[in-house]
C-alpha cells in the first residue's frame, strides 16, 4: 500500500504509527527521525520503505537547535515522492514532510497527542492549518479543533498479551527518561519489585536485587501487561496501560518538558484515564507523596480502542 505515508516522529509518536500500521491491511511507507534506531525497530516489520529526516529538536532542546538543522530537514522533506494520504503523528519532526506532501497534492491528517485537552500541541496546531483533519482520542479534545477534529477514540496498538499481575511496579517515562523520578522511587520504595525503563539515562546506576533496569525494550508492552502498577509521565504509555491492559497508573508530571503539554492538560488527561496524578518530584515535601499514591492508586477507567475507527476513515479516503 504505497499510497500511504506515515510520519513516525519518535517516541510515542512512533507508537501511534505502529498502532495504525497494525490495523492496515498491507505494509506502508514511513518517515522516521534520523539516527533513531528505536523507531526503526518499532516499525520495520510494517514498512515497505523507510525515509529518514532529522528531528528539529527534542522537548528539552532550544529553538536554536532547530535552526541549525533546518536546511537538511527542508531538502530531505522536499525530496520525498508524492503520496495520496499522509498521517503526521506529531512533534516538530512531522511538520516539514507533511507540508511538502500537502504542496504536492496529498491529503494530510494529523494526530493530536492524547494529553492535549486544554491547549493544542504546537506542531499539530500548525499542521492543522493545511491538514484535511486531525484525529482525536477523546470527546474532550473536540473543542480544540471544532472544524477539523475527528474523534476516533484512544489510538493504541493491538494488545499482544493477556493482562496479568506478576507483582512488580513498572516505571517508564519515554525515550528521554526522568532522573528525579527514578531517584525518588529507588530511594523510597522499599521491599517491592521495581522495573525501570530508563531511556537515555544510564540504567546501571539503579540496578540492584529488587530493581530491574534497561534503557529500551521494543516490547515494552510485555512489561506493561504483567505489571501490578505503572508509574509514568504525561505521555502515551499511561493511555496504553489503561486502555490496552486496564492497569492502575500513577502519572507524574515532568516540568522539564517545556514544549510538551501543560500541567492543566496533564491533570485533565489523568482524570480521563482514571489515573492518580502527582506533580513533579521537585515539588514534593517528602517521599510520602509517592508512597501514599502507590498504596492508594485509582482503578482505571474502561475504553474501547479507537485505532480501527481511524483506519476505517483513512481507507475511505483512498
What would the pLDDT profile of 156-194 be if each residue is shown by its tens digit?
A: 999 999 999 999 999 999 888 999 999 999 999 999 999
Q: At what angle do helices 63-78 and 95-103 cross, to 10 degrees?
A: 40
Q: Strands 85-88, 229-232: parallel, antiparallel or unpaired by DSSP?
A: unpaired
pLDDT in tens, 22-38: 999 999 999 999 999 98
Cα separation, 234 vs 238, whole angstroms: 7
What cell does 27 get?
505494509
Average pLDDT over the chain, rounded to whole?
Answer: 95
- Return the closest-CA partner of residue 175 out of 257, 117, 112: 257
Residues 94 and 9 sit within 8 Å (Cβ to Cβ): yes
* pLDDT computed for residue 259 by the predictor: 66
How far, in whole angstroms, is CA 245 from its chain's centroid? 16
pLDDT at residue 301 tops 80: yes
Set out the domains of the chain in order of their start, with CATH numbers. Answer: 4-154+306-316 (3.40.50.2000), 168-295 (3.40.50.2000)
| Residue pLDDT, tens place only, 248-299 | 999 999 998 766 789 999 999 999 999 999 999 999 999 999 999 999 999 9
Cα 178 to Cα 60, 138, 210, 280: the distances in Å are 12, 27, 19, 10
Residue 174 pLDDT: 84
| pLDDT in the model for residue 120 | 94
Phi/psi of residue 122, nearest 5 degrees: -60, -45
pTM above 0.75, yes or no: yes
* CA gap 147, 138 in Å, rounded: 15
Amino acid at each position: 500500500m504505497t499510497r500511504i505515508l506515515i510520519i513516525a516522529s519518535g517516541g510515542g509518536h512512533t507508537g501511534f504509527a505502529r498502532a495504525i500500521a497494525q490495523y492496515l491491511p498491507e505494509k506502508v511507507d514511513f518517515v522516521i527521525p534520523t539516527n533513531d534506531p528505536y523507531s526503526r525497530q518499532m516499525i520495520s516489520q510494517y514498512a515497505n520503505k523507510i525515509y529518514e529526516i532529522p528531528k528539529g529538536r527534542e522537548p528539552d532542546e532550544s529553538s536554536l537547535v532547530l535552526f541549525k538543522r533546518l536546511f537538511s530537514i527542508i531538502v530531505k522533506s522536499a525530496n520525498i515522492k508524492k503520496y495520496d494520504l499522509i498521517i503526521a503523528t506529531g512533534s516538530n519532526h512531522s511538520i516539514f514532510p507533511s507540508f511538502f506532501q500537502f504542496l504536492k497534492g496529498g491529503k494530510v491528517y494529523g494526530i493530536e497527542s492524547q494529553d492535549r485537552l486544554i491547549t493544542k500541541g504546537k506542531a499539530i496546531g500548525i499542521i492543522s492549518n493545511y491538514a484535511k483533519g486531525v484525529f482525536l482520542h477523546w470527546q474532550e479534545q473536540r473543542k480544540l479543533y471544532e472544524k477539523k477534529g475527528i474523534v476516533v477514540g484512544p489510538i493504541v496498538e493491538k494488545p499482544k498479551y493477556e493482562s496479568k499481575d506478576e507483582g512488580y511496579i513498572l516505571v517508564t517515562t519515554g525515550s528521554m527518561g526522568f532522573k528525579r523520578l527514578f531517584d525518588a522511587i529507588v530511594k523510597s520504595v522499599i521491599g517491592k519489585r521495581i522495573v525501570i525503563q530508563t531511556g537515555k539515562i544510564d540504567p546501571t546506576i539503579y540496578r540492584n536485587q529488587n530493581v530491574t533496569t534497561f534503557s529500551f525494550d521494543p516490547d515494552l508492552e510485555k512489561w506493561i501487561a504483567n505489571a501490578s502498577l505503572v508509574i509514568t509521565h504525561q505521555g502515551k504509555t499511561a493511555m496504553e496501560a489503561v486502555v490496552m491492559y486496564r492497569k492502575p497508573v500513577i502519572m507524574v508530571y515532568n516540568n522539564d518538558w517545556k514544549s510538551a503539554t501543560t500541567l492543566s492538560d496533564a491533570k485533565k488527561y489523568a482524570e480521563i484515564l482514571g489515573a492518580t496524578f502527582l506533580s513533579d518530584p521537585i515539588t514534593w515535601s517528602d517521599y510520602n507523596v509517592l508512597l501514599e499514591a502507590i498504596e492508594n492508586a485509582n482503578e482505571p477507567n474502561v475504553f474501547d480502542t479507537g485505532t480501527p475507527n481511524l483506519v476505517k476513515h483513512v481507507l475511505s479516503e483512498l
